[in-house]
Amino acid sequence: MAKGRGSAVVVFVFLSILVLQFEVGSAATFTVGDSKGWTFNVAGWPKGKRFRAGDIIVFNYSPAAHNVVAVNRAGYSTCNAPKGAKVYTSGKDRIKLVKGQNFFLCSFAGHCQAGMKVAITAA
């Protein structure tokens, strides 16, 4: 009887590892703005796309001309990055989405106001 329980534990552990690998391996990668990259008027880019927590979004841009700032809802609405907001400047930023709403903008003068911001909801 003990042998049967040991086999059940082994099967359970194996299935758990398999499920975890599937979850990790199923994350999708999206490029903000598609082939245009991170540029003006990308606010509508997420429309029609399904995002999940753990998906990776890629921001491609010239670091001399733009940046990416992760902000909260208020920062997104007002185009003002709150104190302590994470600023990305590589030009090839890869950001993992968290469950719920994710807000990003460019903090260069006038860029967010010109539509260089994006809100993404991840399930």
pLDDT at 34 (0 to 100) = 97
pLDDT at 26 (0 to 100) = 83
CA 88/CA 29 separation, integer angstroms: 18
Q: What are the tokens at 92?
A: 């090839």
pLDDT at 103 (0 to 100) = 98
**What's the rounded mean pLDDT across residues 67-77?**
98
CA 121/CA 93 separation, integer angstroms: 19
Q: What are the tokens at 65?
A: 């001309």
Question: Which uninterrupted H or E stretch holds 93?
Answer: strand 92-96
The whole model's pTM is what?
A: 0.79
pLDDT digit string (tens) for 19-33?
A: 555 555 589 999 999
Mean per-residue pLDDT of the chain: 89
- The radius of gyration of the chain from alpha carbons, rounded to an integer in Å, stands at 20
